[in-house]
Structure 1
Amino acid sequence: MRRGSQCAEHLTGSVGIGLGPQFATWLGWVIPWKTPLTLIGESPEQVAEAQRNLVRIGIDRPEGQATGTIDVLAGGQPTRSYPTATFEDLRSRRDDRGEDPVIIDVRRDDEYGVAHIHGALHIALPELADRLDEIPNRQLWVHCQSAYRASIGASLLDRAGFDVVLIADEFPHAQELGLTD
């Protein structure tokens, strides 16, 4: 793994969904309806944009909102982060027991059907939170097509207490490296 490569620090128990064109769609798929939401952003403008996006899926008012640095938001409580890696790192990785890590593929069924990493456990991102009992209690390397969905999946798994590595890489790189079936 690249030394010092970590996902952004985050509040313990939070779910990270990057603010962008698919923010509301993915939040609607992975967070159960009527779950109290607190939107967290670096600025009031980010929170306002997230709120505007959520109206599109019927969430008119989140329970709360907060802005600021992670240290201020954590209020002295511990924060979390987990390593990020590339498909090159995965190719050379074995854990200290000589076992390959568990690879979680959170892509859609059709994407997995076209090509996938040999031995990967396929759980599409919208199903992940409901299928945690199927996941071995070992280090999990999470990937998708471009790392956006994998970042959400990694945050869900981290929240559930799993040892997570986010593969922050494009899936074609795995294909170029010969990792796929």
Structure 2
Amino acid sequence: NHGVRPAPRPRPSPGQPTARTSPAVADPEEIAARLAAGEWVVDLRSRIAFAEGHVAGSFNFEADGKLATCLAWMIPWGKPVILLAESSEQLAAAQRELARVGIDRPAGASTGGPAAWLRDGEGPSSFPRATFAQSAVQGTDGVVVLDVRRDSERAGGWMDGSVHIPIHEVHRRLGEVPDGTVWVHCAGGMRAGIAASLLDAAGRRVVAVDDGFDAAAEAGLTVVADRTGPAGRTDDQ
């Protein structure tokens, strides 16, 4: 008696996408059309490369960061997504990671860089990156400081006068960010890069603070703390 044989795994129907299916190649016209339709175009390159030049309206979720966690946390369920990667290897690795959280059927993808993703006559968008020391020199006139860390992290200390919207709520609360140039920070730079891309896509003037939060006090900025609250762990890189 060899026991009961396990039931075979169901095979996908012909043409049915799987986690390993290569998504259709998205050319510049399709990328523009997807953006116009309100779909998510996700640029997987580093936050440094994205800030230097990207397709206007696209969002930056670094392939080398916490891609699956962050994107699954933020993208509306069922929202079509186009993936932009610097290489086929980066794209394949991102697909494998995203498949684990149920984002296994990208509507399209393209590799290369902004030159391959923009229509003729279009130029890339960009925004500056800065440190807390540069923020201290900048001053506060016309500046909004946006903190996108978790509640528990902020309880350990925050910049005086800053606005707090946790990263996973930024997309649906963009209208709550006051007017002015937004200097957005987190604990180390990764989440600030995501938030900066969301704000940039919404047409806001933004500066991504790519720095560790400990540097804020060292730069002479006023950091206050809730001594009764928990000092939260850092979920950043």
Aligned mate of 1:58, from 73, 93, 102: 102
Residue 126 of structure 2 aligns to which amino acid in structure 1?
S
Aligned mate of 1:27, from 40, 46, 71: 71
Deviations 1:36-62 (A, max 9, x none): 111111111111111101111111110
**Identity, % of aligned pairs?**
42
Residue 175 of structure 1 aligns to which amino acid in structure 2?
A
Shift of 1:137: 2.1
* 8 Å CA contact retained: 2:136, 2:220: no
Q: Which residue of 2 aligns with 1:42?
A: 86
Aligned mate of 1:86, from 113, 127, 131: 131
Q: Which residue of 2 aligns with 1:3?
A: none
Deviations 1:23-46 (A, max 9, x none): 011011222111111111111111
Q: Which runs of 4+ in 1 moved over 3 A?
A: none
TM (normalized to structure 2)? 0.70
State how 1:1-181 maps to structure 2 within 5 Å. Answer: 7-76=51-120, 77-94=122-139, 99=141, 101-179=143-221, 180-181=223-224
Residue 117 of structure 2 aligns to which amino acid in structure 1?
L
Q: Rg larger in 1 or in 2?
A: 2
Q: Is there any run of 5+ residues in structure 2 with no aligned partner, and where?
A: 1-49, 225-237
* 8 Å CA contact retained: 1:93, 1:100: no
State the number of aligned residues: 173
Calculate the aligned-residue CA RMSD, in Å.
1.4
Shift of 1:21: 4.8
Shift of 1:100: 5.1
* 8 Å CA contact retained: 2:85, 2:91: yes
* 8 Å CA contact retained: 1:42, 1:67: yes
